[in-house]
Structure 1
Amino acid sequence: MSEYEKIELTNMCMIYDNNGNVVVQDKINKSWGGITFPGGHIEKRESFVDSVIREVKEETGLIIKNPKLCGIKWWEVKSNKRYVVLLFKTDEYSGTLKSSDEGKVFWTKLETLKTMNLAVSFDKMIDVFCDDNIQEYIQLKGNNKWIDILK
């Protein structure tokens, strides 16, 4: 039996300005829809930083610079497979905001974000993005329900 597991790597980015606003996406997805930050899959042999820059451009039209890794979210999707989301944030961007087939994108106030129709578990991810004392969000399955752990 191998001690290693398969991992699916993804990213997400909080783009913010100096006025308390963030870019959000109203994601169109049957399994994980609702308000979230833009992001997506990391391609084979692609740099993690390059992947988040690419995903943000594809989904928002914005070109970001210097995204900083601010945390990780992960959960087990199968007995030997982990889904990992690398969480980035930046306030350096250029271009014009433009929606994609992934969903409508727009600016909103960070302070009111948790009152919106968020994607499942995104409220806890916001905590990781915004609290420098939290670096990891883990979702474990126990007794047929998800258990959230913030570290």
Structure 2
Amino acid sequence: MGRSEKVILTNMCMIYDDNGRILVQDRLNPNWSGITFPGGHVDKGESFSHSVIREVYEETGLTIKSPLLCGVKQFQTTEDERYIVLFYKTNKFEGKLTSSEEGNVFWLKRENLYKYKLANDFDKMLEIFESDDLSEFYYNKESELLTVQLL
């Protein structure tokens, strides 16, 4: 058995400020709609850090600095590709907040997050972003059932 496999690389970034607010995106994609953090795909040959800086800019109009890798999410697609989401966070940013066709972006107080419809399993992903003890969100396939594991 070979050691290589098909992989899709993506990113997501939690941007927060000193006033207890987080930047969220209300995604329009019907395959995964609801409140989440901005992010997107890593282009071939692109560094992971540059990809999250680019994606955040494209989706929010903000230029982030010093994104810190804080976790990862992974699962197998129906095409047997490993889908990996690199989780970043930062409180260093500048620019004018602007929404994109991906969805409306806006600031909200962290404690008000659950007043909104969250994207599927986003609440569990948030545990990884905010934890010093967890670093991986993993969909484990047991029999025909997918279960979330936070590791």
TM norm. shorter chain > 0.5: yes
TM-score for the superposition, normalised by structure 1 = 0.95
Letter of the 2:99 counterpart: S
Aligned: 1:2 with 2:13: no
Query: Which residue matches 1:76?
Result: 76
Q: For the residues of structure 1 that align with 2:30 and 2:67, how far apart are their CA atoms?
A: 28
User: Identity of paired residues, percent?
Assistant: 52
Paired residues, number: 151
Structure 2 residue matching 1:88: 3-state secondary structure: strand
TM-score (norm: length of structure 2) = 0.95
Which residue of the partner structure matches residue 47 of structure 1? 47
**Large movers: runs of 4+ above 6 Å:** none
CA distance, structure 1, for counterparts of residue 80 and residue 35 of structure 2: 29
Aligned to 2:121: 121
Alpha-carbon separation, structure 2, partners of 1:117 and 1:86: 23
Q: CA RMSD in A?
A: 1.3
Amino acid at match of 1:104: N
Aligned to 1:130: 130
Specify the SS of the correspondent of 1:112.
helix
Per-residue deviation at 1:66?
A: 0.4
Q: Equivalent residues in 2 for 1:2-151 (5 A)?
A: 2-78=2-78, 80-151=80-151
Q: Which runs of 5+ in 2 are unaligned?
A: none
Deviations along 1:41-61, one digit per CA (max 9) or x if unpaired, are 000000100000000000000
Structure 1 contact 21–107 (Cα < 8 Å) conserved:
yes
1:28-47 deviations in Å (ceiling 9; x for gaps): 11211110000000000001
- Following the alignment from structure 1 to structure 2, what is the Cα–Cα distance between the partners of residues 2 and 114? 44
Secondary structure at the counterpart of residue 40 of structure 2? strand
Aligned residues of 1:76 and 1:140 also touching (Cα < 8 A): no
Structure 1: 5+ residue runs without aligned partners? none
- Cα deviation digits, residues 85-127 of structure 1 (max 9, x gap): 0000000000111100000000011122234201111111100
Give the deviation of 1:144 after TM superposition: 3.4
